[in-house]
C-alpha cells in the first residue's frame, strides 16, 4: 500500500497542499479529479522529491516503510513511476540508448533481488524488441535516434512515457494528465496500451479533469481535490451518478 499521511506542501512560502491523507492499495485504480490549481500536480510531485517543494510532514509510506527521504531513483526502484504533466526534454540523451539502459537496469535489479544471473539484452535484440512496441504505439522508428523528448509533440512525449512504463513494469503508476496533448486516436491508443499493462499487481493513480478515462479503465475510487485538500471520496458505484450531476452543470 502507498500512503500519504498528513502531507502539507509549500512552494516559495505559499501553502499549496494542505493536509492530505490518502492511501492507494496495490492492484486498485484511482482517480484524482478537479479543477485547475487545486494542487493535484503538487501532491504527485511530492513523490518525485522536487527541490522546489517544502514538505512539512515526511510521511510517504510504502508497505509499512517510510520512503519520504529516498531519492527519486531509489523510489523508482520500489516500482513507483510518476508521469509528469509537463514532460521534461533532455538533450544529449538519445532515446534508443535511454530506453535500453532503463530496461536492462530494471532487469539487472530484478535479477539481483532474486540472486539470479543477469545478461543484458544485446543492442540487436533490444532493437527488435522495442520496434514491436513502437509500432503498437504508432511511433516512427526514427525517433530512436532523437534526443529524449527534445522537440517531441505533446502526444509523442506521452507515448514515450507509456513505453517506459511498459519497459519498467512498475507497481504504482501515477499519471498526471495523461490525456493532455493527445488527439482522440492517440488518446485511444494510449488508453488501450495502459489497459494492456494492467495486472492484479499494478495500480494506476490517474490525475485528470475528465471522466473519459473511466470509460476504458475500471476505477475503484475517486478523490476530489479542491484548494489543496481532498474534499470528497467516491466509490465506483457513485461514478455514474456524479458524471450525470457534473454534466448537468454545463
Ligand X SMILES: Nc1ncnc2c1ncn2[C@@H]1O[C@H](COP(=O)(O)OP(=O)(O)OP(=O)(O)O)[C@@H](O)[C@H]1O
Q: What is the total count of residues that contact ligand X (CB under 6 A)?
A: 13
Choose the one of ligand X, Mg ion, none that binds residue 119, judging by a C-beta under 5 to 8 angstroms depending on kind: none
Residues paired with residue 24 on neighbouring β-strands, in sequence order: 2
Minimal distance, residue 36 CB to Mg ion, in Å:
7
Choose the one of Mg ion, ligand X, none that binds residue 11, judging by a C-beta under 5 to 8 angstroms depending on kind: ligand X
Choose the one of ligand X, Mg ion, none that binds residue 36, judging by a C-beta under 5 to 8 angstroms depending on kind: ligand X
Within 68-87, which residues bind ligand X (CB under 6 A)?
85
Considering the rule CB under 5 A, would residue 44 count as an interface residue with Mg ion? no
Q: Of these, 29, 41, 76, 149, which contacts ligand X (CB under 6 A)? A: 41
Stretch that binds Mg ion, among 78-86, 122-130, 143-151, 189-197 (CB under 5 A): 78-86
Query: Can you spell out the DSSP letters for 167-234?
Result: HH--SEEEEESTTTT--HHHHHHHHHHHHHH--TT-EEEEEES-SGGGGTS--SEEEEEETTEEEEEE
Residue 139 or 179 having the CB closest to Mg ion: 179
Stretch that binds ligand X, among 39-47, 63-71, 132-140, 150-158 (CB under 6 A): 39-47
Stretch that binds ligand X, among 12-20, 70-78, 139-147, 236-244 (CB under 6 A): 12-20
Within 149-208, which residues bind ligand X (CB under 6 A)?
none
Contact 176, 85 (CB under 8 A): yes
Considering the rule CB under 5 A, would residue 85 count as an interface residue with Mg ion? yes
Considering the rule CB under 5 A, would residue 41 count as an interface residue with Mg ion? yes
Binding site for Mg ion (CB under 5 A): 40-41, 85
Binding site for ligand X (CB under 6 A): 11-12, 14, 16, 36-42, 52, 85
Amino acid at each position: 500500500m502507498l500512503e500519504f499521511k498528513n502531507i502539507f506542501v509549500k512552494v516559495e512560502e505559499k501553502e499549496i497542499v494542505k493536509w492530505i491523507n490518502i492511501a492507494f492499495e496495490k492492484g486498485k485504480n484511482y482517480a484524482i479529479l478537479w479543477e485547475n490549481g487545486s494542487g493535484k500536480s503538487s501532491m504527485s510531485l511530492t513523490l518525485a522529491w522536487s527541490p522546489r517543494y517544502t514538505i512539512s510532514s515526511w510521511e510517504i509510506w510504502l508497505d509499512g516503510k517510510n520512503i519520504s527521504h529516498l531519492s527519486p531513483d531509489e523510489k523508482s526502484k520500489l516500482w513507483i513511476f510518476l508521469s509528469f504533466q509537463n514532460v521534461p526534454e533532455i538533450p544529449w540523451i538519445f532515446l534508443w540508448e535511454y530506453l535500453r539502459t532503463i530496461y536492462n537496469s530494471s532487469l539487472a535489479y530484478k535479477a539481483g533481488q532474486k540472486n539470479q544471473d543477469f545478461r543484458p539484452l544485446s543492442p540487436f535484440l533490444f532493437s527488435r524488441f522495442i520496434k514491436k512496441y513502437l509500432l503498437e504505439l504508432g511511433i516512427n522508428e526514427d525517433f530512436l535516434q532523437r534526443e529524449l523528448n527534445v522537440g517531441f509533440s505533446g502526444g509523442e512525449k506521452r507515448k514515450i512515457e507509456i513505453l517506459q512504463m511498459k519497459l519498467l513494469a512498475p507497481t504504482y503508476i501515477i499519471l498526471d494528465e495523461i490525456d493532455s496533448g493527445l488527439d482522440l486516436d492517440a488518446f485511444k491508443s494510449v488508453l488501450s496500451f495502459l489497459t494492456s499493462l494492467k495486472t492484479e499487481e499494478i495500480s494506476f493513480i490517474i490525475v485528470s479533469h475528465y471522466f473519459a478515462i473511466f470509460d476504458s479503465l475500471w476505477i475503484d475510487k475517486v478523490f476530489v481535490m479542491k484548494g489543496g485538500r481532498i474534499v470528497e471520496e467516491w466509490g465506483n458505484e457513485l461514478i455514474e451518478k456524479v458524471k450525470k450531476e457534473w454534466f448537468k452543470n454545463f
